[in-house]
Structure 1
Amino acid sequence: MMKYAITTAIAGAMTAAVLGLAAPAQADLGHNDWVNNMGPSVTVPHVDTSVHG
Structure 2
Amino acid sequence: MENMQFQGSSSVIKSLSGQECQWCSAGSLSSTTFKGTEAVVCDRCGTPAARFW
Please state which structure has a larger fraction of its residues in strand. 2
Q: Indicate the structure (1 or 2) with the bigger Cα radius of gyration.
A: 1
Q: TM-score, normalised by structure 1?
A: 0.33
TM-score, structure 2 normalization: 0.33
Higher-RCO chain (CA-CA 8 Å, sequence separation at least 6): 2
Which structure has more helix as a fraction of its residues?
1
